[in-house]
Amino acid sequence: MNTGKKRLLDFGIFLISTGILVAFDQWTKALAVANLKDQADIQLISGVLCLHYLENTGAAFGIFQDQRIFLLLLTTIILLCVCYVLWKIPGEKKYIPLKILCGMITAGGIGNLIDRVRLNYVVDFIYFSLIDFPVFNVADIYVTTSMILLLILVFFYYKDEDFQFLKWKREK
């Protein structure tokens, strides 16, 4: 298969898998609205984990509260950058983890972007009460875990030369 067709196939797989992840995120948020809004918390593990409905007008950990336009622009820029990186990633097998993480970051970004555009806030509902961790959602899990895994890959798996595909080529 030539490089162009392979790249289009990879991008198609990326779009489909990202769509599935976004759909799952939106489904869990719809369940949270239907079952948790204006209701008492649901204890999953007493004193450790519960479902708690929250309308978050900010970003992770409650930062940038009521900065909707800024968050919409920031998310759009990040998503465009991730898509650019994804398009530039070579087709070699060693880059498959990087492609998967790009999909997870994109799905998380789109999942929360949909909420911000549609509702003016993000639906959060998972709360680790044991450590009083901020309330979060499935899209946040996608972004957080993929960023942690990305850091691990960058520091311990890939070498500097593996990222030559991101370098700008100058015309002489």
The yes-or-no answer on residue 140 being catalytic is: yes
Check 25, 66, 132, 140 and give the catalytic one: 140
Measured between alpha carbons, how far is residue 95 from residues 125, 154, 161 in Å? 33, 11, 13
Tell me, what DSSP letter sits at residue 136? Answer: B
To which residue do tokens 């972004």 refer?
Answer: 143
Residue 55 DSSP code: E
Q: Which of the residues 124, 132, 160, 162 is marked catalytic?
A: 124
Angle at 140 between CA 80 and CA 89, to 5 degrees: 35
**Catalytic status, residue 66:** no
CB atoms within 10 A of CB 66: 10
Residues annotated catalytic, as ranges: 124, 140
